[in-house]
Structure 1
Amino acid sequence: MKNIMVVGASGALGRLVCNELQRLFDNQIKLIVTDYKMERGKRLADSFNSDTQFRYLNVDDVDNVKQVIKDVDLVVVILKQKIPAIQKACIENKIICIDVTPFYDFAEKVMDLDQGAIRNNIGSVIMSGFFPGLSGLMIKKAIMDFQEVTEVNMALLQNTNASVGVTGIVDMLNIISQPVTFHNEIEPGFTKKRKMHFVNHSKGKRVRLIDHSEIRLIHDKLINVQLYYWTSWNNNIFNSIVSLLNKMDLLKVMQKADKKLLSKTVKHNPNKDETAYLTVEVKGIAGGMKRTKIISAAASSDYFTTAMVTAAIAKISLHKNVIGVVCPFEITNLDEIISIMKSSDLIIEEFVM
């Protein structure tokens, strides 16, 4: 039986990851949850049906981190770190680590540990999840049949009712507030628009251009072509407000707002739909002809799918010889991840034009 630790398990995403790990491993794991608050951590461990263990963890205490992970087979990191202390300790102790942080500056710090991971014959996975994560796997599949790729567009259609928690809200505000480069011109993020096809939508939905950390990883590790990331919400008025706030530089102010205030501002209704959609569009030459291929996914929930993908990556990582700092698309593919997730909550469509 494998010992799997989830760091940051008390948050909305962390709890989902714990549930998905138990489901995908048929409860045949020893689940260990951590928290820097003793009583909260103990309550969390008691809330799971299986024999879940709690361990106190302070990510700012290097000695504590090394002690806590000592007998673990795999660590999933849900919380944010300024430096990859957990990854470093995992590599030194030859423990697989999976991280969901969606920002390149942190991923770059983890990639600096690559040679150490290779020397120790161990793997560390970065940017696991829905967007990024599943998005990269969709791009990998979409470009496979092309002899030449001229342009790739990846889009996320978000739901204003998404149960992403305050951390997810702040992360997306950060992404949207970054300036973007389009055809060598720099402009504010979430300004330029285009339409893209999504599952269950007869007409194209308008999305807006953003800068995204996964672009750099795709360029470095998969394919270096014109690659654009887009997003919007399923509410046009909401999109207009977000765009205006960004142009006024107010999104950056909101990122620094009190988290309790943000949690009261953005409410999730569990009785309403929170479906999120991903679409990749690839243009190029396939079979000697100009083609456009589209792969589109509908997921019942952004966070739930991130949890499913991360748990599936954990299962794959324990069964494959993963070495070095890697992205999900370097160790698996879309078909494999779907077969492991075994979920009717994810619908995939693809077609060629």
Structure 2
Amino acid sequence: MSDARPADLPTPRPALAKLPPYVPGARGAADAAPPVKLSSNESPHGPLPSVVGVVESAAAGINRYPDMGAAELTERIAAHVGRDAADVVVGGGSVAVLAHLLQAYTGPGDEVMFAWRSFEAYPILARIAGAESVMIPLTADARHDLPAMIAAVTERTRVIMLCSPNNPTGPILTQAELDSFMAAVPTRVLVVLDEAYVEYVRDDAVADGPASLDRFANLVLLRTFSKAYGLAGLRVGYAVGPAALMAPVRACVTPFSVSGPAQAAAIASLDARDELLERAAEVVAERTRVLAALREQGWSVPDSQGNFVWLGIGDATGDLVAHLGGAEPAILVRPFASEGVRVTIGHAAENDAFLARIATYGGARA
């Protein structure tokens, strides 16, 4: 079928022609042995039985619309982060919530700034909102270049995204770095601190998002239930910030975008937080082991505080991905063309399979 569009049909916005695609993690071929899937930053653990039971019960009511404002979940999140409910906006995953933030605060002619490489949804969502992306290269050690970001602020800058730990490279932003950055950024600029992987952080120097909200009136946090809470398939995320900043975002949220079972699962997950954090600790222990093994093999790996590690091997990316996936079971990782490879931390056996396969790679090791 031709992609040609007759002249008399509606045409999309020109900006969408340059929209970068979102690339999901590979899932393997249907006619091959099940792969070792380390290509998406998911929890390797299945949902808790207690959460599954709550979802099953909630499923009996899916003929009814869910609570549009997710009031109970909003209250529970607010208590969890030590804020008022008016400071919390819940949506269909943190990506959706970020889209609503950009819808509320940016438009044509505005600039959205972020480090690069960082989360690949940032430039997509900025363009959809009509804004322009300002992408500031990471430092040589895969960290945010905060002085360069400050120097790049213009009158058109409306939103700055900070990702800590940074996806896909792994380093955190420290509290000292955040404090210095926020002091230098004009208060008219909305700063969004994406803490999607906060439950995996073990570096005591990390910026404390909730505590920082009391000090910086233009700061908003972005968090998710998709990672450590293991609810990636149910899509629940949230933003936290001053109520005055959150009200316009709430107005942009798609009605009923968080299903009843998803709301129930998120509440049950907060109830089971201690058990879920034990699982996160298992991932952290495996991350530590994998980092040490990779470095022993001669790989240069940044200090990751997420549930993944980064191999910044540049032009060798394609060769490494082909090597990892070239035998059964295929080891699936997330490549970023000509930049590097992100490897999600899985179960111990999955990580062992990855380490054994990458040990036989004969190319250069960054």
TM-score of the two chains, using structure 1 as the length reference? 0.33
Q: What TM-score comes out, normalization by structure 2 length?
A: 0.32
Q: Which has the larger radius of gyration?
A: 2
More strand by share: 1
